[in-house]
Amino acid sequence: MIRLGALGLGLLFVITVLWGAIQPRDVVPEDPVEKLHLHPKEIAWTHNGPGNLGVLGTFDRKQLQRGFQVYKEICSACHSINRIAFRDLAALGFSEPEVKAIAAQYEVASIDDKTGEPATRTATPADKFPLNYPNEIAARAAQNGAYPPDLSLMTKAREDGVNYVHSLLTGYADAPANWTVPDGLYYNPYFKSLNIAMPPPLAADDQITYADGTKATREQMSKDVTAFLTWTAEPKLEARKETGVAAIIFLLILTGLGYLSYRKVWADIKGKARSNVVDNV
Amino acid sequence: MSFPWAKQYQPTTELGKFMDSRLPLPRFVHGALGAGYPTPKNLNYFYNFGVLAGVALVIQIITGVVLGMHYAANVAVAFDSVEHIMRDVNSGWMMRYMHAVGASFFFGVVYVHIFRGLYYGSYKPPREVLWMLGLVIFLLMMATAFMGYVLVWGQMSFWGATVITGLFSAIPLVGNVIQTWLLGGFAPDNATLNRFFSLHYLLPFVIFGVIILHVWSLHIPGSNNPTGVDVKGPQDTVPFHPYYTAKDFFGLGVYLTLFAAVVFFAPNALGEADNYIPANSLSTPAHIVPEWYFWPFYAILRAFTTDFLFIPAKLWGVIAMFASILLLFFLPWLDTSPVRSNSYRPLNRILFWVFVAVCLVLGVCGGKPAAEPWVRLSQVLTAYYFAHFLIITPLVSRFEKTLPLPSSISDAVLAKYGKTPTGGSGGLGGAAAQPAE
């Protein structure tokens, strides 16, 4: 009875789903965006370690500091990094007085302790980088309808995010003849809709002057700020990989010992089976 | 435990004797996991995965309890609290990555465990209840994993919750009422997040309870084994401890090494980048996909594209998705072959591997956007999925000519070492297909 019912039910499901399969499909016109869209370029990063495998690797502190400078002098005009506190910058190799000095350049919201009115005060290392706009509506109003997202998590919030950010920053190009870019937007084949509202942020070499004397080519600035944004998205990356190496070494030894004890425990059972074979030959 | 040669618990210390006559907990452990549980001596590495699944659950509970100390189930701050765990909580990043990757590993291990049961016929008499309890655990896991994913309150959390609860709206007449009741509103919002957190904290302990029943019902007939032949006597078994504790410990080491490799070196490889964008009800992601372990079922859900017999396509998809798991409850009665192990079922063995391939490709389809050729491919594979269990399995188990079974586990072990057993019981060729009970 169960099997008869199953047969009926099975036929019902099979016929229904195959009925859908044999329906003619509408011809889907080729998506012009998909044709022009490019996947991020594969770039070697120090935080990806040898072979760019992502297993080992550490941040280049000098590069992170340069990247922070790029962020501060260019990106921060529109984009916040609100998940980062000034104290976190110590991880980039800044000393305590340097962190304090950086924080002192920012104003954060507070309350006037006499009147209780909203006020601002100078930021301390414990504060987070302030938002550029109080909310999305204010941002769009100021940015001609576009919304510059917070960059703290950007390299994790996009597919292949680290390569994506670098590709996007260096990927601005002239639109091909068959593609029209609406007014106020820019052509970038790495952006999902190809038309991005952000004007090319790294417009020319030597747009900024690096404190450490590195030549500020567009490629260099893009790589540096991408490395910095990798750090903002995954500040514990180095601790994670270090812990991982230790954990794997420990577990390999433990597993090896486990295997030896398994062989030893089973020696009498497996040995007996083998010796029986010999006995009877 | 049912085998009469199981070693009885003998308390040796004063404290042991004291406890044994008041609360015989050591006796219980001895009988469940110790020398008091005779186990077939020919279990292969696929039999490690039950223990591994148990360990995976314990890892989820421990890391989850710690995460729960720092997580805030409120739509205004949920996403921020997760990032707070990642950045400011001591080792919070490790707890969260272990929990997120741990969910994937838990499902991976459970899938191997289920397919092992399918291959060796572990669902057959007398283990039907054991099999069904396992399916209950699987269903509870799916609910728990889904709700846990929503807690992050990223884009994929929000839209995943919208899509999955939206399935219930396909039910005629009461669908919308049920969806609203599940969500606590008309769309996923604070009420949804709060109840999901509450249930996500509760269900793992329910799973733990069902696991106790699962293991209890395992210990009545004892473990199945790769030959599928019943245990005949003490020569076929070894005490669980130290033999299988040692083997499981080694297997656990391999598992934890792989687990650590992903947690520490590629923790986001199994996740969706979109879930690092905070939930936004005004912006729908281009492709809403669940986590990989739901992909085959997601493919079945989307495979039904035409209304049929006055039932709308969406409702067909929902019915089929639930049916694809619920039909497994009937498997012990659909597969009537007296031979358990596919090692002695030449035709069914091929069909088993075809089915494995079908499930894998269905998984690939489920992870792709709903476009050709993936839709048509998942339709054909979905048809095969249902045909496999509901049509092919009953027929094959009826007409298949099975290979002769070894007369006992011991004989099979000896045969493996290249020798025909001598011990009088007819040897390899003698045993006819014996009833599986």
Active centre residues of B (catalytic) = 219, 223, 247-248, 291
Nearest-angstrom CA–CA distance, B274 and B156: 6
Separation of alpha carbons B276 and B155, rounded Å: 7
**Residue-level pLDDT, tens digit, chain A, 281 residues:** 888 898 999 999 998 889 888 888 888 888 888 889 999 999 999 999 888 888 889 999 999 999 999 999 999 999 999 999 999 999 999 999 999 999 999 999 999 989 999 999 999 999 999 999 988 899 999 988 889 999 999 999 999 999 999 999 999 999 888 888 998 899 999 999 999 999 999 988 889 999 888 998 999 999 999 999 999 999 999 999 999 999 999 999 999 999 999 999 999 887 766 665 554 44
Which residues 92-151 of A are in CB contact (within 8 Å) with B? none
Number of C-beta neighbours around residue B246 at 10 A: 19
Is the pLDDT score of B432 beyond 50?
A: no
Instruction: Report domain B289-402's class.
Output: mainly alpha
pLDDT tens, residue by residue, B152-193: 999 999 999 999 999 999 888 899 999 999 999 999 999 999
**Nearest residue to A91 via CA among A128, A127, A49, A59:** A59
Q: Please choose, from the candidates A100, A73, A68, A74, the residue with its C-alpha nearest in 3D space to the C-alpha of residue A86.
A: A100
Using the Cβ of B175 and the Cβ atoms of chain A, whether some distance falls under 8 Å is answered with no
> Rounded CA gap, A279 and A267, in Å?
17
Parallel, antiparallel or unpaired: strands A118-122 and A107-111? antiparallel
* Better pLDDT: B430 or B73: B73
Backbone angles phi, psi at B39, to 5 degrees: -130, 140
Instruction: Please give the share of chain B, as a percent, with pLDDT higher than 90.
Output: 73
CA distance linking residue A44 with residue A52, whole number of Å: 6
**Is B425's pLDDT higher than 70?**
no
Token reading at B320: 């089929």
> What pLDDT is stored for residue B411 in this prediction?
85
Whether the pLDDT of residue B354 is over 90: the answer is yes
Question: How far does B243 lie from chain A, in Å, by closest CA?
Answer: 6
User: Is any Cβ of chain A less than 8 angstroms from the Cβ of B77?
Assistant: no
The pLDDT score that the predictor gives to residue B428 is 41
Please state whether beta strands A118-122 and B237-239 pair in parallel, antiparallel, or not at all (unpaired): unpaired
Listed by start position, the domains of chain B span 40-288, 289-402
**Nearest chain B CA: its distance from A205 CA (Å):** 32
Measured between CA atoms, the residue of chain A closest to residue B386 is: A10
- Taken as a whole, chain A contains a residue count of 281
- Binding-face residues of A in 249-278 toward B, CB within 8 A: 251-252, 254-255, 258-259, 261-262, 265-266, 269, 273-274, 276-277
Q: Whose structure tokens read 């433990």?
A: A254
**Distance from C-alpha of A62 to C-alpha of B80, rounded to nearest angstrom:** 29
Give the least confident one: A176-185, B63-72, B335-344: A176-185
Q: Domain B40-288, what fold?
A: Cytochrome Bc1 Complex; Chain C (1.20.810)
CB A42 within 8 A of CB A163: yes
The pLDDT assigned to B427 comes to 39
Residue-by-residue DSSP string for A37-48: --PPPP---GGG
Angle at alpha carbon of residue B308, lines to B305 and B311, rounded to 5°? 95
What pLDDT is attached to residue B145? 96
Chain B contact present for A28, CB below 8 A: yes
Q: State percent of chain B over pLDDT 70.
A: 95
Contact B304 A20 (CB under 8 A): yes
* Residue to test with chain A: of B85, B95, B101, B257, most A Cβ within 10 A: B257
Domain boundaries, chain A: 32-84+137-239, 88-128
Domain A32-84+137-239 falls under CATH 2.115.10.20: no
Which of A240-254, B33-47, B128-142, B150-164 has the least mean pLDDT?
B33-47
> Which residues 69-88 in chain A show a CB within 8 A of chain B?
83, 88
The pLDDT value given to residue A246: 96
**Burial bucket for residue A262 (CB in 10 Å: 0-12, 13-18, 19+):** buried
Residue B305 confidence (pLDDT): 87
Q: Are B59 and B102 in contact (CB under 8 A)?
A: yes
Q: What tokens were used for B55?
A: 């360990």
> E strands of B5-111, at which residues?
38-40
